[in-house]
Every structure is written in structure tokens, then in C-alpha cells.
């Protein structure tokens, strides 16, 4: 059949109209109205999809009945990335995401073809912060043609979304300070807001700053904890907060850093920030005569235009356990006692699920969603937790659950208004806290060395039945709707859709979909590498896609207990993977989990006294190489590394920065004796853990054999 060119173009136009506009809702201008629209189907415009931060999509093309057919549509290999944790955005057919070292890529959301790449050259700016921190970042934001990114080293950068070129840059904190940024900036009403992390790295005082999205000019700043009263308070809120502190708290900074959890309420024109834990953790040091220590571990409501304080709700008064409240702040409208109420849903580290009236800041309800040994319940009269005696390790060590990883960390919680359930990546672990033997009176945090003012060790009450679970929580009834126990810790964030689905990636590399009402597993896909990021979904030209960044990341990826997952440093390709119902991409499989073998050098005579000295030096290394030197995915396993075997090579790398380009910071102040002590500590660690390694490998082989055996019958 032959068409004239005129007929052909008519046919194309008609078919485009039929395929694209029947059900799709796409914004034309990407402003607050678009970001607030829960009904649009084409895009993923903000960290939590919309201003409500629900991570709920109304698109139901992929649903419980056909999700089993989900296949890889396209993928992008990211060979230089390590530990991907971020939420991509999709705007008008383009997928934007931030990777390791804050490199941003714009990709065609249908084909996966790279459009542009923006490298903020973090390596040039990072300086000392490389010693304390984190090459990963959780997200970017989009507003009226601009992308906003906040870099590890503390810059906030606006980028032209079309071309990937830089529009403006501001430095958000003193580069000499031991602060860093891992969070996504929050953009609203022509302003862009960012806070920072680093509470544990020095005497820090948390704050957030709002800038003009157009020019980068600073508009307002809000401090989270009060400074030295002698210097005068910035505002009445700080004066009020200071009454809840004792001693000379400002010498310790106080903490409260807002590194995650910013939500703009477009209905009420209010900004909520989730605030961090104390600096240091131990209140006996920070505020020796007690006190609630406002605004630590709170949700603080601010006037988004001026930064003026409106109200706060503190989840953990006088916190002493790293129970920050930086987790997701989700906005919902719930029917409570026959009335529709505008609420905040919040499940912070401390293990309680909070429903808060967002007009008044009043607590509506709070119930524990995990075992909580630090507090029995929340007193609804005072809105405060009723603590268990001894929980503040007053006179003796105390087993605490949740532990400082939290009952829920930054891995995204989602909320589905159709099922009325919140989906929480939940953690279950205990720890023993003790400050016995610490000189509380003279303790002082030092910039870049930091400290927490308390010691942690394994809890006698471990293990729990399972380390993690995916929990569906009913915020109206304040009870568990369903729970799926997981035998691996530190799993990814969740996405929920009108297709009656919940998606979550796990740290063992499995991406799963669950029936949103029952928790039944309806789809599983093995991506071959641990997942920490949350999936997103979008719809272009009648086709729904599901995208996720793959790469094991975040605090738990730096080794220690995560060693047994086998996601050794740079052994597995990090990827961006996009699925669809008719996908047919041929994605090469990744190698199996890899476990670095500790090297034992029989010629190296280990000096126990030197090794003990080296253990102290190792404090500088553990932020990346992990406690106990078990390597994770963030940095090499030092026990297996060849570099410490040769004195000169070791000095070149540790002191002189020979591997700076690879991400290894230099420690110019370290002397020969300290370097030698470290070498002895590493060799001793390798020797001591070799039998453990051999035992583990043997166990795995036995397990594998029995598996094959079963399959053989
Ligand atoms: Ca913390």
C-alpha cells in the first residue's frame, strides 16, 4: 500500500494522538504546580516524585496481573561508579541521575542513550573531606528548566537541563569544616534549599540555607541548634531552643545536621525539615544537666519564604543514641475519626511511626513499628516518649534497639493512597551502649577526627529473628498490615503504584515486586549486585518503564558486616537498569559475589605492640575501609591489598596521595612510625581473620553442593 506524504503525515499524527494523549498527563511548565500534581503520569519530577514525597505513581500499565512479564528494556554500564544510591528524575522524556562523585548524566528515557554528562570535578574540591566521607549522593532536583545538585564538598550548582552547562555555583559552608553533602536539594517557589551532614566528624552546628533558584543568591538560613548565647541569638526560635540546653553545648557544636528529609507542603505553603542527632551522641557531654536539646531529632516547620520558625515536633528529646529524624517526611490526607486530616507520615530511626497534623504540628498518633528497648510508648498527653530506665546508659552498659542504623534509615519509604499503607524498608538490630571509662568532662570533638562520646559493642540480646523486613504499615490504625522478613540487612527504598504493586531492591541483588495489599511476591529479578537505591517509574508514548540504579552503597557498604554479601570494591559493574513489559535487552550477567582473601605474608614479623598502636591510627581509615578491615564495596579490603606489604608503596599511597585519582585521600601529617604501626595492624588483622575466611568459603561450598544435590533429584 502506498500513501502520499500528506496522508502519511496525517496517519502519523493520528496514531501519535491516539497513543499519547488518551490517558497520559504531562506538564508543560515544570513549576510547583507540576511538581504538586499527583495525577501526571509521564514524569518523575522530584526526589519523592511529587512535593508530597509519596513515591506513589498513578500509572497502572504494569500491575499485579502482568508484572511477571517485566524484562530489561535498556541498561547503561557505569564502570567508574561505586555505590549508587540516588533517585533519578524523568522530565519530558529525559532521565537525569547523579552518580559517584556527583557526576550527573542526562539520558534518553526511552532508549538509554546518553545526551550529556556534567562533572563538577569533586576530586579538585574535596580536600580533607575525602577522609571522612562519602562519594555518593541521593539525588538532584528540577525546576523550570534547571537542575540543582549539591556536591560532596559543599557546593550547590544550577545546571541548564538542556545543555548540561553550569549556570551558577554557590559554596554552602566553610570548606575547612568537616561537613559534607549527600542529600538532594529541595526546590520550591523559586528557591532551592540544602543542608549538610557531618555531625559525627567534628563540633558541628547544623543549618539549612535557601537560595534563589534563578541567581543562587542566599535568601535565608536557619540554624537547627542554638549557638553561644554570648554571641546573641539569630532569632526567637534559637532563644527558645537555648532554654533546653545546659552547660557549654556550643563548644561541641550541638549537631542536628539536616542531611536528608526536606518536604515542601504546597497545600499549606510550609517547609518541613527533618533534623539530625546530637554532636556528640552522648548527652552527658553535650548538655550535662540534661534537657530536650531543641531542635535535635525533630520535624521543624518553617516559612518557606523567610525561614521563620513555625512549629516543631521532637521525636527523640535529649537524644543519646544517634536517633536522628532525617528520614522521609511524607504528606498525606488521612480519614481520622471521620474527618480528613492533612498529616505528615514519619518513621525515623527511633522505631516509632508518627502521624502528625501538619497544620498544627500536633501529634495525632505514634506506635512502635519495631522492637524498641529505649522507650515503651509515646505519652499522648505530653507527645514525648516514655523511656525505659537505664536506656541512657546512665550507670551501666545497656542493650539498645533499634541500633544507630535505625529502625528505618534514608532508604525511601513510600505511601500508597489507594491501599492506605506506607511501605518501610525496616531494620532490626541491637547494640550495646556504654560510656564507662570515657572522660566525659574533658571530652572534646576535633574537626575531621570527630567522635560520638560513647562506645558501642555487640548486644547480648542479638541476634534478632531477622535483620530486616519490608513492612506495610497502616498509619490510621497504627498497625502492621503485612511484613516480609528478609535475611539480608540494608535493603533499598520502595516505590508503590496504582498497579497495586510495591517494588524494592535488596542488598543481595534481588529486585522484587510485591502485591501492595498482601505482601505476596509477584516478581523477582536478580540484577547481580546489591541494590541500595529506590526504583522509579514513568510513562512515555503509552509505555510504562521502571528504572533503578544498581550498586551497593551508603554507610553499611564500607565493610564490616557487609563483607559477607560479597560486593567487593570494584568487582561488579554498577548500572542503570530500565525495565518494561516488552523489554528484550541482552544484559550480560555479573560475576558471582566475591570475597577478598586475607593475605598472609610469612616473611612479615608482626610486632603485637606496634599492631596495637596501629589500631589507633586505623580510626582514620575505617570511614571507608570499614571496621575490622573487612572490605566492603566502598574501598579495597586492606587485608587483601598488596599495597601495605611494601613500606615505600604504602607511604606513597597513604601519606603522599599516589592513589588520589582512584579516590584514596592523602594523610600528609602521618609519620613513619604511625605508618609502620598501621602496617603491623593490617598484617595482624589479615592473619587473624584468614581462618574465618577459610571457614566461610568452606561453608558456602557445602551449601552450594547441597543446593545442587536437591536440584539433581
Ligand atoms: Ca548520625
- Is 211:191 a contact under the CB 8 Å cutoff? yes
Helix (H, G, I), strand (E, B) or coil at 209: strand
Mean pLDDT of 466-474: 97
Does the pLDDT of residue 198 top 80, yes or no? yes
* Burial of 629: CB neighbours in 10 Å, binned 0-12, 13-18, 19+: buried
What share of the chain has pLDDT > 70, as a percent? 96
Indicate the average pLDDT of the chain: 94
Mean pLDDT of 595-599: 95
**From the CA of 582, how far away is ligand 1's center (Å)?**
43
**From the CA of 279, how far away is ligand 1's center (Å)?**
9
Q: 389 falls in which pLDDT band (50, 70, 90)?
A: very high
Of 43, 61, 73, 322, which is the active-site residue? 322
Does the pLDDT of residue 322 top 70, yes or no? yes
- Is 226:238 a contact under the CB 8 Å cutoff? yes
Does the pLDDT of residue 433 top 50, yes or no? yes
314 vs 626, which has greater pLDDT? 314
Is the four-CA dihedral 572, 576, 582, 585 of positive or negative sign? Answer: negative
Q: What is the pLDDT of residue 598?
A: 96
Q: What is the pLDDT of residue 594?
A: 95
pLDDT tens figures, 119-156: 999 999 998 889 888 889 999 999 999 999 999 999 99
pLDDT tens figures, 49-102: 999 999 999 999 999 999 999 999 999 999 999 999 999 999 999 999 999 999
Does the pLDDT of residue 463 top 90, yes or no? no
**From the CA of 85, how far away is ligand 1's center (Å)?**
18
Residue 187 neighbours by CB under 8 Å, 6+ apart = 46, 141, 142, 143, 148, 193, 213
Q: What is the pLDDT of residue 6?
A: 47
CA-nearest of 536, 555, 546, 579 to 47 is 536
Residues around the ion ligand 1 (C-beta < 5 A): 277, 322
Mean pLDDT of 276-280: 97
Residue 406 neighbours by CB under 8 Å, 6+ apart = 322, 323, 324, 327, 348, 349, 350, 351, 427
* Residue 601 annotated in active site: no
Q: What is the pLDDT of residue 261?
A: 97
Assign domain 608-703 to its CATH architecture. Answer: Orthogonal Bundle (1.10)
Does the pLDDT of residue 334 top 60, yes or no? yes
Q: 636 falls in which pLDDT band (50, 70, 90)?
A: very high
**From the CA of 265, how far away is ligand 1's center (Å)?**
26
**From the CA of 261, how far away is ligand 1's center (Å)?**
13
Q: What is the pLDDT of residue 23?
A: 67
Q: For residues 410 and 266, what is the distance between their CA atoms, to the nearest angstrom?
A: 23
Mean pLDDT of 261-270: 98
Q: 626 falls in which pLDDT band (50, 70, 90)?
A: confident
Q: For residues 280 and 440, what is the distance between their CA atoms, to the nearest angstrom?
A: 11
Q: 707 falls in which pLDDT band (50, 70, 90)?
A: low
pLDDT tens figures, 228-244: 999 999 999 999 999 99
Among 157-171, 209-223, 296-310, 628-642, the range scoring the smallest mean pLDDT is: 628-642
Mean pLDDT of 595-616: 95
**From the CA of 121, how far away is ligand 1's center (Å)?**
27
**From the CA of 405, how far away is ligand 1's center (Å)?**
9
Rounded to 10°, the helix 672-712/647-654 angle is 100
Alpha-carbon Rg of the chain, whole angstroms? 25
- Is 548:534 a contact under the CB 8 Å cutoff? yes
279 vs 449, which has greater pLDDT? 279
Q: For residues 629 and 614, what is the distance between their CA atoms, to the nearest angstrom?
A: 12
Which residue is listed with cell 594523610?
A: 667
Q: 27 falls in which pLDDT band (50, 70, 90)?
A: confident
- Is 283:293 a contact under the CB 8 Å cutoff? yes
Q: For residues 166 and 118, what is the distance between their CA atoms, to the nearest angstrom?
A: 8
Beta bridge partners of 96: 89, 106
Q: What is the pLDDT of residue 73?
A: 98
Q: For residues 578 and 74, what is the distance between their CA atoms, to the nearest angstrom?
A: 5
Amino acid at each position: 500500500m502506498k500513501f502520499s506524504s500528506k496522508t502519511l503525515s496525517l496517519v502519523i499524527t493520528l496514531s501519535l494522538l491516539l497513543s499519547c494523549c488518551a490517558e497520559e498527563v504531562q506538564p508543560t511548565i515544570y513549576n510547583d504546580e507540576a511538581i504538586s500534581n499527583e495525577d501526571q503520569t509521564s514524569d518523575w519530577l522530584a526526589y519523592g516524585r511529587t512535593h508530597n514525597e509519596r513515591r506513589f505513581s498513578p500509572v497502572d500499565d504494569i500491575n499485579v496481573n502482568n508484572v511477571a512479564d517485566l524484562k530489561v528494556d535498556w541498561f547503561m554500564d557505569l564502570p567508574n561508579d561505586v555505590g549508587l544510591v540516588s533517585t533519578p528524575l524523568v522530565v519530558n522524556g529525559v532521565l537525569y541521575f547523579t552518580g559517584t562523585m556527583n557526576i550527573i548524566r542526562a539520558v534518553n528515557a526511552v532508549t538509554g542513550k546518553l545526551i550529556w554528562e556534567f562533572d563538577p570535578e569533586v576530586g579538585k574540591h574535596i580536600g580533607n573531606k575525602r577522609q571522612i566521607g562519602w562519594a555518593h549522593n541521593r539525588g538532584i532536583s528540577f525546576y523550570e528548566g534547571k537542575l540543582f545538585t549539591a556536591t560532596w564538598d559543599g557546593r550547590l550548582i544550577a545546571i541548564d537541563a538542556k545543555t548540561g552547562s553550569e549556570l551558577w555555583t554557590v559554596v554552602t559552608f566553610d570548606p575547612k569544616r568537616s561537613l559534607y553533602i549527600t542529600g538532594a536539594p529541595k526546590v520550591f517557589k523559586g528557591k532551592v534549599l540544602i543542608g549538610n551532614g557531618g555531625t559525627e566528624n567534628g563540633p558541628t552546628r547544623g543549618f539549612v540555607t535557601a537560595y534563589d533558584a534563578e541567581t543562587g543568591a542566599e535568601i535565608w538560613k536557619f540554624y537547627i541548634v542554638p549557638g553561644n548565647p554570648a554571641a546573641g541569638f539569630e532569632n526567637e526560635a534559637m532563644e527558645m531552643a537555648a532554654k533546653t540546653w545546659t552547660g557549654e553545648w556550643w563548644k561541641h557544636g550541638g549537631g542536628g545536621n539536616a542531611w536528608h528529609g526536606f518536604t515542601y507542603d504546597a497545600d499549606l505553603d510550609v517547609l518541613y525539615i527533618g533534623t539530625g542527632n546530637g554532636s556528640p551522641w552522648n548527652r552527658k557531654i553535650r548538655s550535662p544537666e540534661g534537657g530536650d536539646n531543641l531542635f535535635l531529632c525533630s520535624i521543624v516547620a518553617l516559612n518557606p519564604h523567610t525561614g521563620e520558625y513555625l512549629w516543631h515536633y521532637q521525636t527523640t528529646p535529649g537524644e543519646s543514641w544517634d536517633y536522628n529524624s532525617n528520614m522521609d517526611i511524607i504528606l498525606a490526607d488521612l480519614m481520622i475519626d471521620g474527618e480528613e486530616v492533612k498529616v505528615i507520615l514519619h518513621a525515623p530511626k527511633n522505631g516509632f511511626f508518627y502521624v502528625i497534623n501538619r497544620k498544627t504540628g500536633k501529634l495525632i498518633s505514634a506506635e512502635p513499628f519495631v522492637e524498641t528497648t529505649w522507650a515503651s510508648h509515646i505519652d499522648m498527653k505530653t507527645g514525648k516518649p516514655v523511656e525505659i530506665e537505664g536506656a541512657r546508659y546512665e550507670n551501666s552498659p545497656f542493650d539498645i534497639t533499634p541500633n544507630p542504623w535505625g529502625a528505618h534509615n534514608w532508604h525511601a519509604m513510600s505511601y500508597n493512597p489507594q491501599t492506605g499503607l506506607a511501605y518501610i524498608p525496616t531494620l532490626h538490630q541491637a547494640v550495646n551502649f556504654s560510656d564507662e571509662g570515657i572522660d566525659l568532662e574533658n571530652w572534646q570533638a576535633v574537626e575531621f577526627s570527630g567522635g560520638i562520646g560513647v562506645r558501642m559493642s555487640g548486644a547480648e540480646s542479638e541476634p534478632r529473628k531477622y535483620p530486616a523486613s519490608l513492612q506495610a504499615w497502616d498509619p490510621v490504625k497504627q498497625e502492621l498490615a503485612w511484613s516480609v522478613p528478609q535475611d539480608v540487612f540494608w535493603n533499598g527504598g520502595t516505590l508503590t503504584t496504582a498497579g497495586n504493586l510495591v517494588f524494592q531492591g535488596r542488598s543481595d541483588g534481588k529486585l522484587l515486586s510485591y502485591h501492595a495489599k498482601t505482601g505476596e511476591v509477584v516478581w523477582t529479578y536478580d540484577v547481580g549486585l546489591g541494590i541500595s537505591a529506590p526504583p522509579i517509574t514513568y510513562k512515555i508514548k503509552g509505555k510504562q518503564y521502571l528504572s533503578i540504579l544498581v550498586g551497593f552503597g551508603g554507610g553499611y557498604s564500607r565493610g564490616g558486616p557487609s563483607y559477607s554479601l560479597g560486593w567487593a570494591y570494584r568487582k561488579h559493574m554498577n548500572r542503570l537498569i530500565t525495565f518494561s513489559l516488552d523489554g528484550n535487552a541482552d544484559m550480560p550477567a555479573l560475576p558471582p559475589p566475591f570475597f577478598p582473601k586475607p593475605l598472609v605474608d610469612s616473611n612479615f614479623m608482626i610486632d603485637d605492640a606496634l599492631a596495637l598502636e596501629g589500631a589507633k591510627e586505623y580510626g582514620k581509615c575505617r570511614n571507608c575501609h570499614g571496621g575490622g578491615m573487612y572490605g566492603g564495596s566502598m574501598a579495597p579490603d586492606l587485608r587483601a591489598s598488596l599495597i601495605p606489604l611494601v613500606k615505600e608503596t604504602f607511604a606513597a599511597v597513604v601519606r603522599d596521595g599516589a592513589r588520589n585519582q582512584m579516590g584514596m585521600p592523602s594523610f600528609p601529617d602521618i609519620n613513619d612510625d604511625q605508618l609502620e604501626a598501621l602496617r603491623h595492624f593490617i598484617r595482624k588483622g589479615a592473619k587473624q581473620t584468614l581462618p574465618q575466611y577459610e571457614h566461610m568459603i568452606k561453608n558456602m561450598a557445602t551449601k552450594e553442593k547441597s543446593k545442587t544435590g536437591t536440584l539433581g533429584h
